[in-house]
């Protein structure tokens, strides 16, 4: 097992990468020095330059919307202008954006949202009574009965109550307190906010934040921005990307030389890796956090996206309570959910919530204060979150249609997860772990040494080079593994399984053909 040299990477690095990080040409990154010497004609030197800007922001990297996505946009424009390509459309499999891939919104959710938006519709016979009931309840809790008023900074009261009721049901009766629920602008906002409060210290007392590798790059980006220390723990690719507590121990032990590890972030089901953690694993992680006095962040936005018949979603909260009072009254936990994933895929509304456990009452005050600076999360997103946690129940008018739509989306995703795994594993030089959950495949690809050399000549990471070629030759846009982190010398990409089944089959066939040709070319 190769151990990467930089186990602990400083958030703020002395490199000056391009805006999207290390995969960009370093020549571009050095432009400000040139500009200084040769200012544009008639223009004074600018105040805000790459040299003068916030170095922590400069250090931020975010691959999911990085250079490959910019390139995809350029290619789309070229196609629109009639420029001939070996393909007719760009397929954006880089981001978990279900509705952009043709998934239809859940009717009930949109009915309630429309009623809240334009309450005249409450008199319309074309809307079901259960949708009207929910819309009235939400509006009654809004200032002036309008989605256009600010809500409390923590979110609309009755929606926080609905979230708490949902969590209690989900966790088989483990109680949830609306006071511990904070509605957020997507899950990203909650994660950023709690990390912002957690980070402190200088030198060796700087806060270490443990994140999985591969990880979702929001975490590394926020760690950079906050000038905290990123502490990597590696998921076990040989073992379906499982989390091994011995690896956590290794990581925390080594990190203590450099920083003060204070936070442990877990993504379950995994992104980009798609594994679903076993109950035993979660128990081990909680025990480890308790032992090492780590604040736990559980990113559970894919809690509805579990496909493997052998897997079940267990929330960290539930397991924490089942482990007894020593844990449930001591371990500090924040968990996150969102309207963007699951079966609803309402990314654009930016709805989400965070539940905090064992947060010090004074820190809760600090949290509300910090949230109040931004006034409130979008109230339409809060309303969307309410429908996610408070869907139609048996006996209600919309129950049947709602259930049918939900099952259809989740059933399709399960089929596509299996299909993707099977097809990738038929390609020589590609290995793909089972997609137990979430929305992504993260296959490992063999990149021949000659291709690695070619990538170096283009000043690109080898997997960026691979993904750029894939995009240019097939129109398929995926994200290089280097954007999520991977063991040195291994290469991956992340691809969503969101295209409709027939299109996904075509995509997979095209990736296969591309890969075979790529291996031949660089043999």
Restricted to residues 303-362, the positions that interact with its own copies (CB under 8 A) are 325, 329-330, 332, 344-350, 358-360, 362
3-state secondary structure 2-24: CCCCCCEEECCCCCCCECCECCC
Nearer to its own copies, 279 or 404 (CB): 404
Rounded to the nearest 10 degrees, what angle do helices 186-198 and 218-225 cross at?
40
Nearer to its own copies, 20 or 353 (CB): 20
**Rounded Cα distance, 447 and 457, in Å:** 15
Question: Residue 165 CA to chain centroid, in angstroms?
Answer: 25
What does the longest C-alpha to C-alpha distance in the chain come to? 73
**Rounded Cα distance, 198 and 208, in Å:** 10
Judged by CB under 8 A, the chain residues 371 through 410 that form the site for its own copies are 372-381
**Rounded Cα distance, 383 and 5, in Å:** 47
Rounded least distance, CB 513 to its own copies, Å: 27
Rounded least distance, CB 418 to its own copies, Å: 24
Report if residue 25 touches its own copies, rule: CB under 8 A: no
Residue in 25, 26, 54, 509 binding its own copies, rule: CB under 8 A: 54
**Pick from 193, 210, 218: nearest CA to 258:** 210
The mark string for 113-152 relative to its own copies (x by CB under 8 A, - otherwise) is xx--xx--x--x-x---------------xxx-xxxxxx-
Q: Kind and range of the H or E element at 211? A: strand 207-213
Nearer to its own copies, 149 or 239 (CB): 149
Nearer to its own copies, 275 or 339 (CB): 339
Rounded least distance, CB 398 to its own copies, Å: 14
Find where tokens 């979430």 sit: 438
In order of 61, 68, 494, the CA distances from 65 in angstroms are 10, 7, 12
**Pick from 482, 363, 348, 406: nearest CA to 62:** 482
Nearer to its own copies, 153 or 315 (CB): 153
Report if residue 500 touches its own copies, rule: CB under 8 A: no
Residue in 294, 320, 354, 455 binding its own copies, rule: CB under 8 A: 294
Find where tokens 């090492």 sit: 292
Nearer to its own copies, 171 or 225 (CB): 225
Find where tokens 């591969």 sit: 214
Report if residue 55 touches its own copies, rule: CB under 8 A: yes
Residue in 8, 9, 11, 60 binding its own copies, rule: CB under 8 A: 60
Nearer to its own copies, 222 or 430 (CB): 222
Which is it for the CA torsion 339, 341, 342, 346, positive or negative?
A: positive
Residue in 245, 370, 410, 454 binding its own copies, rule: CB under 8 A: 370
Residue in 4, 7, 79, 100 binding its own copies, rule: CB under 8 A: 100
Nearer to its own copies, 247 or 332 (CB): 332
**Rounded Cα distance, 358 and 328, in Å:** 8
Rounded least distance, CB 61 to its own copies, Å: 8
Burial 41-60 (b: 16+ CB within 10 A, else e): eeeeeeeeebeeeeeeebbb
Judged by CB under 8 A, the chain residues 160 through 199 that form the site for its own copies are 185-186, 188-189, 192, 196-199
Nearer to its own copies, 186 or 443 (CB): 186
**Rounded Cα distance, 415 and 402, in Å:** 20
Report if residue 206 touches its own copies, rule: CB under 8 A: no
Report if residue 484 touches its own copies, rule: CB under 8 A: no
């Amino acid at each position: 097992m190769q151990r990467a040299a930089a186990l602990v990477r400083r958030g703020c690095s002395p490199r000056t990468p391009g805006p999207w990080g290390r995969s960009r040409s370093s020549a571009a990154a050095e432009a400000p020095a040139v500009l200084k010497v040769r200012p544009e004609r008639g223009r004074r030197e600018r105040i805000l330059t790459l040299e003068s800007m916030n170095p922590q922001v400069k250090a931020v990297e975010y691959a999911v919307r990085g250079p490959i996505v910019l390139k995809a946009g350029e290619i789309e424009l070229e196609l629109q202008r009639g420029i001939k390509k070996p393909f007719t459309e760009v397929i954006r499999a880089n981001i978990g954006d279900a509705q952009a891939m043709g998934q239809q919104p859940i009717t009930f959710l949109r009915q309630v949202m429309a009623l809240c938006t334009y309450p005249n519709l409450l008199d319309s016979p074309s809307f079901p009574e259960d949708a009207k009931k929910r819309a009235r309840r939400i509006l009654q809790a809004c200032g002036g009965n309008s989605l256009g008023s600010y809500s409390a900074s923590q979110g609309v009261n009755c929606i926080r109550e609905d979230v708490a009721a949902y969590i209690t049901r989900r966790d088989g009766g483990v109680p949830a307190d609306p006071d511990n629920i904070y509605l957020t602008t997507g899950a990203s906002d909650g994660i950023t906010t709690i990390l912002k409060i957690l980070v402190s210290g200088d030198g060796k007392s700087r806060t270490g934040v443990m994140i999985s590798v591969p990880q979702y790059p929001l975490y590394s980006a926020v760690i950079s921005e906050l000038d905290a220390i990123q502490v990597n723990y590696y998921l076990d690719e040989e073992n379906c990307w499982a989390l091994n507590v011995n690896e956590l121990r290794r990581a925390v032990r080594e990190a203590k030389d450099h920083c003060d590890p204070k936070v442990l972030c877990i993504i379950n089901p995994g992104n980009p890796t798609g594994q679903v953690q076993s109950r035993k694993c979660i128990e081990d992680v909680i025990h480890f956090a308790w032992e090492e006095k780590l604040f736990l962040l559980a990113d559970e936005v894919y809690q509805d996206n579990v496909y493997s018949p052998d897997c079940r979603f267990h929330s960290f909260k539930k397991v924490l309570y089942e482990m007894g009072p020593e844990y449930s009254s001591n371990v500090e936990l924040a968990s996150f959910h969102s309207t963007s994933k699951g079966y609803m895929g309402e990314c654009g509304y930016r709805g989400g919530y965070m539940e905090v456990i064992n947060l010090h009452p004074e820190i809760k005050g600090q949290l509300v204060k910090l949230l109040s600076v931004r006034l409130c999360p979008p109230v339409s997103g809060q309303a969307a979150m309410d429908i996610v946690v408070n869907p139609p129940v048996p006996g209600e008018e919309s129950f049947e249609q709602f259930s049918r739509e939900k099952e259809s989306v989740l059933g399709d995703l399960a089929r596509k997860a299996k299909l993707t795994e099977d097809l990738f594993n038929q390609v020589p030089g590609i290995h793909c772990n089972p997609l137990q959950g979430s929305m992504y495949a993260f296959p490992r690809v063999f990149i021949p040494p000659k291709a690695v050399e070619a990538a170096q000549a283009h000043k690109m990471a080898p997997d960026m080079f691979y993904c750029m070629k894939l995009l240019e030759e097939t129109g398929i846009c995926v994200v290089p593994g280097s954007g999520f982190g991977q063991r040195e010398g291994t290469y991956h990409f992340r691809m969503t399984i969101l295209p409709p089944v027939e299109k996904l089959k075509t995509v997979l066939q095209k990736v296969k053909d591309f890969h075979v040709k790529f291996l031949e070319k660089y043999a």
